[in-house]
Amino acid sequence: MLQIWLVRCECLWNQETYAWYWDNYRERLTIDRIQKIEKIKSERGKAQSLGAGIMECHAFGELGFDARTIRTEVSEHGKPAYYDEKSGEELYLNLSHAGSYIAAIYGESSVGIDVEQIREPRLAVARRFFTEREWKLLEEAEREERSALFFRIWTLKEAFLKTTGEGLTRELASFDVSAAVDGESALIESVELRSLQLGQSIVSVGAKGKLPASIPIKTLDLADRNL
C-alpha cells in the first residue's frame, strides 16, 4: 500500500482557526509533534507544523494506529523514522512542505517525498547541482516549460535522497534523475521515482520498491472543521 496525503495550511495562519485546531487536536497529536510545535517561535512555523501534525493523525489513523503511541527518531542524516510503541512496528512515512502546501507519503518500505511550488527557476543553482544531462534538458527546454522542469528535477533529487536516507551528505550532482522528468516512473539505483504536477506545484515521490501505476492522493481540507 502506498498513498499520498496533501493539505493546504494557509487557513491555520488565521489565529482563531489555529486556536480551534490546536484545542481540538492537541490530545490527538504525537508527543514529538506537540513538543516541536511548542518550541517553534514564529506563528507561521507553528501553523505549518500543526498542519503536518493533523496530517500525521489522519494518516496513522487510516493505517490503524493511534498517533499518541507513535514516536519519532531522527537518523544521523536527519531523516525522521516513525515507530509504534505498542507493536514496535516501523511506519514508513515521509513529509515535505513548501509555502502553504504539506505533502506526505506512506509506503511499505522506505519512501521519500518533496513538494515545491512552481516559480522562477534558479539557474545558478541548477548549474551547480544538476548533472550535465539534467542541465542540458533544462537549457534546451522552451522558456514556458523551464520553471516546471527545474522543479521536477529538484524535487526528484530531494525525493531520492529522502528515500535513501542520505540527505545532503551526498552530492546532488552525483546521480541523474533525467529519466523520470516526463512523469513516468524510473528506477534510479535502488529507488523508483516519479514526478507529478498538481496545479502550480510539483510533487515527486520515491520508494525502495515498485511504485504502483496509479498512486492514490488524499487531500485534507482544513477549512472543513469536521475532519
Span 105-162, pLDDT tens digits: 999 999 999 999 999 999 999 999 999 999 999 999 998 999 999 999 999 999 999 9
Q: Is 205 helix (H, G, I), strand (E, B) or coil?
A: strand
Of the chain, the end-to-end C-alpha distance in Å amounts to: 23
Asked if residue 122 and residue 78 are part of one domain, the reply reads no
pTM (predicted TM-score): 0.94
Q: What is the pLDDT of residue 77?
A: 78
Q: Which residues contact residue 184 at a Cβ distance below 8 angstroms, ignoring those fewer than 6 apart?
A: 194
Question: How many domains in the chain?
Answer: 2
On whether both 79 and 139 belong to a single domain, the answer is no
pLDDT of 40 above 90: yes
Provide the CATH number for the domain around residue 183.
3.90.470.20
Nearest to 135 by CA among 156, 117, 153: 153
Same domain, 67 and 119: no
Residue 145 pLDDT: 94
pLDDT of residue 205: 98
Q: Which domain holds residue 179?
A: 115-207
- Is 90 exceeded by the pLDDT of residue 223? no
Q: How far apart, in Å, are the Cα atoms of 84 and each of 81, 123, 127?
A: 10, 43, 42
Question: What is the model's pLDDT at position 76?
Answer: 77
Query: For the residues 1-14, what does the mean pLDDT come to?
Result: 92
